[in-house]
Chains A and B, each alone.
Chain A
């Protein structure tokens, strides 16, 4: 049984932005050490604020507290998914609350088949669709890359083909297709982005 975690309710009017660094550090400590004290700090700051948001959204104390509890439970259990480089603690916690609220409202209306928040905002997926090299791992076969490549829009495909398969320079491609160099650059960028996006989200499919 747990006793006496100090719950410090900051009455001060510190804005979320002003304590972002401090809160980030607490969340990281929670992730790394399961530190209850650090969590209590985060909780003390955000829980009352979330309740005020939840009350406005749900219009009912019990539902509001449920929303607060679910949100903060996720912060506790999934603290390792917080990434300070991608956003502030308040943004992360708000998006968790927004997602839970979105699903709660649909559940209340008994709309089981409805779209769920994970489909729209994959905030709490173990892998976020952020593009990085690690997801380009052994699971992706050449065949799949070819497959994704085939799915690129025609114009992007032509540019990528010329540069990455035929080994032409961007200027050569521009001359050959009689389009501005800027267009070649932007098509290349878009195509790579799209491929990356497809590969990353490919990892998330299933379930």
Chain B
């Protein structure tokens, strides 16, 4: 990758790179490391100013930088509390290019499924109801706690998980849970070469996973949806035709059809294709069009038996970023903050 190293300048004047995590699992960082020895090229091209996963770094150092001092910030994770929101705003201000990196930042991902509940229900479950919890005093996290040494602060936990672009202005999106290492490398190369697409672009392919999938496809007619444990699918034929709800039809290509390759249906981690307003709605509409029944009774039976968790199926990665964003909010909630 000569262009990246070629663009690298002497230390000190190297462009600054920040990698930050908010509500996320850490998989995105692992995936960055998955670019393998090319990480050395990244180190040669950039000065890494922040990456809590692998190095120590202080928020105050970032606060002291001039606005726009960071060339690129790869921001993964969704926004679930006030600290993450603050960091998103801070990094936005300090970075020339802010990339929503990975599914959580891009469309909310698994943390976003918490939008089916609210803060109170989540606390009740986590700090009270789980089998392993013993909490007779009903202790709950407090944003401020006074101890002899002074006051301790915890971030405010919000009712609603937001995507990065529902919080701050975002320049690019790198989809995937996590983004696949080759795609990360391609994106970094493009950034280094200054070969950037128009703002707002989702960096990836403009077709869907089926395009990369080698399975044989026929006209689709599904009489029964099956869960993955119910059948051992034929390795040659499209999984959807075999009744496994493969989201590959609606999911942006980029991973190389990893899951269907190993006989497992795509669950949609790369998010929607270009021009799609709402991944779940698109997918539902497509799935609905191949159900092979002609009366409402049979159709209902096929759906209720085969798709017991519609939100988890159609909005597994995209609930927070979807048109509806969350379940109906109970009265008296914090309004998303």
Answer yes or no: do A and B interact. no
Which residues of B does A touch, CB under 8 Å?
none
Which residues of A does B touch, CB under 8 Å?
none
